[in-house]
Amino acid sequence: MPSYKLTYFNFTGRAEPIRILLHYGGIPFEDVRVEKADWPAVKPSTPFGQVPVLEVDGKKYTQGTPLARYVANVVGLVGKSNEENLEIEIAINIVSDILKAAYESHFDPDEEKKKQHLKTLHELLAKYFPVLDEAAKKNGGHLGTNKLNWGDIYFVTAYEDIRNILGNKDIVENYSGLQNLKKNVISEKNIKEYIQNRPKIPIFVYDLRSEL
Amino acid sequence: MPSYKLTYFNFTGRAEPIRILLHYGGIPFEDVRVEKADWPAVKPSTPFGQVPVLEVDGKKYTQGTPLARYVANVVGLVGKSNEENLEIEIAINIVSDILKAAYESHFDPDEEKKKQHLKTLHELLAKYFPVLDEAAKKNGGHLGTNKLNWGDIYFVTAYEDIRNILGNKDIVENYSGLQNLKKNVISEKNIKEYIQNRPKIPIFVYDLRSEL
């Protein structure tokens, strides 16, 4: 088995789907969490001045979603067919757009733009959560296939971050399919154990572990 | 073979990589190009009020990059291994971010935001084109693998759109690796034939066919 080292901040964000996928697969990896104060020293050693970085036998790769897809292939959480993968990827594309609006609403230093991103976030949630909920209902609490896949994990980590960004607003409270999906992910043995034991995120007002 | 029908505008954009991939594979498909005036009538029949839509045996799917990935798998233009696919996907992620800034700089109705997007576009080009150029040089004019793949096609269609958005500025003029990549794509027999014969895009100031 190759050696894996994942570098990110002590935050969920772009790294959490990758961490969860590795834990799901029981794959040992070095989970490096850089403190903000140390980032300027670490930054030049990353491919494009960015994290997450996954090192596979010392070779460095970056970009969150490609890395999650890569690890999903390693641990067998992709679809069984090209069609299943298409369904999963469409869901991930949607969640990724929503998540981007959420991060922008949180991190944009300009108050006016922040508001605009927040408006976009609410529009996207209103447009797409019913669609994702329908997909989850059709597939027994999964996105794209009827068994656990990396789209489910991607959704749940996005859910946690967006819920935090929105001050603990439970964005799936009206969606039974997505609630079921969330349960399917966090009740998986290895994932549950990881979430119970992962380092706390200081800025979190909501933590998935409260649901275990 | 399933029946394929692709619906988009008479524009390159999110559909062009899909069209080129289908032509590369010699796969017959219905290439529906909706006129702007007809869009309000077509829109309600699309999955989320969006195009491109690919119908596979009558089943409708949307979202450009997932569709391109799906067709790339159909026509065999993905990597040979998970690692090769990771390299291709990282390149696509980068190009996709650049393209998004380009489209936003073109379509945003707000003049101030347009300027901001344009600034972002130039920053991304300056940051990432050298990286992509290096990758292309290393792989004989390809991204991620040393043979034609969907990352190459994705790059070239993005190149054409960005060049048009920037008023025919040749954004690869200083990058011999990316020039080579462009040649590799447009000289492929089926792709060349398609580009020679595709409908003209009225708003284009630059057209890939001028390089054939």
| Residue B176 CB coordination number (10 Å) | 13
User: Which residues does chain A have within 8 Å of residue B130's beta carbon, measured at their own beta carbons?
Assistant: none
- For residue range B21-60, list pLDDT tens digits in order: 999 999 999 999 999 999 999 999 999 999 999 999 999 9
Q: In chain B, pLDDT over 70 holds for what percent of residues? A: 100
Residue A9 predicted with pLDDT over 90 = yes
- A93·B128 Cβ contact <8 A: no
* Nearest chain B residue (CA) to A59: B83
User: Which residues does chain A have within 8 Å of residue B65's beta carbon, measured at their own beta carbons?
Assistant: 89, 93
- A74·B82 Cβ contact <8 A: yes
- B90·A56 Cβ contact <8 A: no
A144, two tokens: 């794209």
- Please compute the mean of the pLDDT values over residues B63-82 and round it to a whole number: 97
Distance from CA of A180 to the nearest CA of B (A): 23
Cβ burial, residue A120 (10 Å; 0-12/13-18/19+): middle
Distance from CA of B78 to the nearest CA of A (A): 12
pTM: 0.96
Task: Give A212's pLDDT tier (boundaries 50, 70, 90).
Answer: very high
Interchain contact A31–B (C-beta under 8 A): no
Residues 52-91 of A with CB under 8 A from B: 56, 61-63, 65-67, 69-70, 73-74, 82-83, 85-87, 89-90
- Please compute the mean of the pLDDT values over residues A12-38 and round it to a whole number: 97
User: Which residues does chain B have within 8 Å of residue A57's beta carbon, measured at their own beta carbons?
Assistant: none
Q: What is the pLDDT of residue A7?
A: 98
- A62·B94 Cβ contact <8 A: no
Q: What is the pLDDT of residue A84?
A: 97
Residues 153-172 of A with CB under 8 A from B: none
Residue A1 predicted with pLDDT over 90 = no
Q: What is the pLDDT of residue A38?
A: 97
Q: In chain A, pLDDT over 90 holds for what percent of residues? A: 99
- For residue range A141-165, list pLDDT tens digits in order: 999 999 999 999 999 999 999 999 9
Helices B16-24 and B150-165, axial angle in degrees (round to 10): 140
Helices (H), chain A: 16-24, 39-42, 64-75, 82-107, 111-138, 150-165, 176-186, 189-197
Rounded to 5 degrees, φ, ψ at B4 are: -120, 135
Q: In chain B, pLDDT over 90 holds for what percent of residues? A: 99
B7, two tokens: 């619906």
User: Which residues does chain B have within 8 Å of residue A127's beta carbon, measured at their own beta carbons?
Assistant: 48
Task: Give A129's pLDDT tier (boundaries 50, 70, 90).
Answer: very high
- A89·B83 Cβ contact <8 A: no
Interchain contact A2–B (C-beta under 8 A): no
* Nearest chain A residue (CA) to B59: A83
Q: What is the pLDDT of residue B114?
A: 94
Residue A62 predicted with pLDDT over 90 = yes
Rounded to 5 degrees, φ, ψ at B31 are: -100, 80
Cβ burial, residue B137 (10 Å; 0-12/13-18/19+): middle
- For residue range B113-135, list pLDDT tens digits in order: 899 999 999 999 999 999 999 99
Rounded-to-integer distance, Cα B58 and Cα B2, Å: 9
Residue B190 predicted with pLDDT over 90 = yes
Minimum-distance CB partner of B69 among A70, A89, A127: A89
